Amino acid sequence: MMIGVKEKITSGQLMILIIQTQIGIGILFLPSTVEAVAKNDAWISVLMAGVASSLMILIMWALSRRFPSMILFDYLPLLLGKIAGKIVHVIYAMLFILECSLVMVMFADVVRDWVFASTPIWVILALMLGTSVYMAVARIQLIARFFVLTFGLIFVLILISTYAYRDADIMYILPVNGVGFPSIFKGMEKSLSSLFGFEILLLCYPNVIGVSKKILKAAMFGNIFSTCIYSFLVFTCLIVFSPEELRVIPQPVLYMVKSLSFTVFERADLYFLTIWVVVVVSTVISYLFMSAKSVSTLFGKKKHAGSVPVVALIILIISLIPHNQEMVNMLQNIVAGIAAVAIIVVPPILLGISYLLKIKGKEQTKG
């Protein structure tokens, strides 16, 4: 498959593409989610999740470099056959749609609880998806440029959070490894879902300019950056809040920011949320793009743009279904189950088949 110049992105843009897909909704929820199982060692769990995700990126990169001019859905039939390839293709399409739906559900809950308490959920969801559709129909090159433009906002979020260190107590994280390795490992499993998003490498590898080692470095640096951001936020929450407080606070980062008082302005949480919304928009755009790409190729279409509104409508309907925490937890478990198959199990199997049967794609001319 020949890819035009307008579809090409640089390795730096790939790095930011991965970061913006990984960092989003997890900023608010990860600290309390991981602390619930790993306690004061939650920050270690996040670092371990970063190592695990780096290993998965390495496998996806090794698989993609065997088919340098193809995306995942092009070489699935070559490795698995037509029927099995279609089944796995459907699994990936379901994963991307459900991941996006889960992000939308959690996003709507936060916005309703903190800003627009009386606004119907469907309005919040429709506005968010409508905005994201506008960018998701574009080429990967334009999406990457938008992500580069908004990338700096992540540093603003970190800067605001850093101010909370004036109330920090390092004693909260002691003793290190106090809960034992099994709990830290469970925390790592919880953290891993927040770092998902690097699977976009399987869909845009042929679009990246440069040799394969450069692509690997970009993907790895992106994952390391996201891991550091998440580790920093989890660590900050652990030393700002006592363990008892973290057990009852669902979004500790927002509570931490809300307590800050600046000379010039108040309600820092609202400024934080405003910037966070843009960061989440990037995540939604990325998942919309992956969902539309998987659906369009499933039906033999070359362009993904026509599938974006259809996929967005499906995501809107799914996002409206959960109406209590129990149903949200159920959706999280479904996404975690499909992700375990599609991201952790399938790529190593595909790589093994590719090497055993000596199936590989043709080299493409790199721009």
- Has residue 38 got a pLDDT over 70? yes
Residue with tokens 């149903």, as numbered in its chain: 327
Q: How confident is the model at residue 344 (pLDDT cuts 50, 70, 90)?
A: very high
- Give the pair of three-digit tokens for residue 33: 């989610």
pTM score, two decimals? 0.91
- Has residue 362 got a pLDDT over 50? yes
Over residues 198-249, the pLDDT tens digits come to 999 999 999 999 889 999 999 999 999 999 999 998 898 888 887 777 777 7
pLDDT at res. 3 = 67
Q: How confident is the model at residue 364 (pLDDT cuts 50, 70, 90)?
A: low
Q: What is the 3-state secondary structure (H, E, C) of the chain?
A: CCCCHHHCECHHHHHHHHHHHHCCCHHHHHHHHHHHHHHHHHHHHHHHHHHHHHHHHHHHHHHHHHCCCCCHHHHHHHHHCHHHHHHHHHHHHHHHHHHHHHHHHHHHHHHHHHCCCCCCHHHHHHHHHHHHHHHHCCCHHHHHHHHHHHCCHHHHHHHHHHHHHHHCCHHHHCCCCCCCHHHHHHHHHHHHHHHCCHHHHHHHHHHECCCHHHHHHHHHHHHHHHHHHHHHHHHHHHHHCCHHHHHHCCCHHHHHHHCCCCCCCCCHHHHHHHHHHHHHHHHHHHHHHHHHHHHHHHCCCCCCCCHHHHHHHHHHHHHHCCCCHHHHHHHHHHHHHHHHHHHHHHHHHHHHHHHHCCCCCCCCCCC
Of the candidates 107, 133, 115, 114, the residue with the CA atom closest to the CA atom of residue 277? 107
Superfamily (CATH) of domain 11-357: Amino acid/polyamine transporter I (1.20.1740.10)
- Has residue 10 got a pLDDT over 60? yes
Average pLDDT rounded to a whole number, residues 299-318:
92
pLDDT at res. 2 = 61
Higher pLDDT pick, 354 / 153: 354
In whole angstroms, what is the distance from residue 265 CA to residue 324 CA? 35
- Has residue 113 got a pLDDT over 90? no
Over residues 72-89, the pLDDT tens digits come to 999 999 999 999 999 999
pLDDT at res. 264 = 65
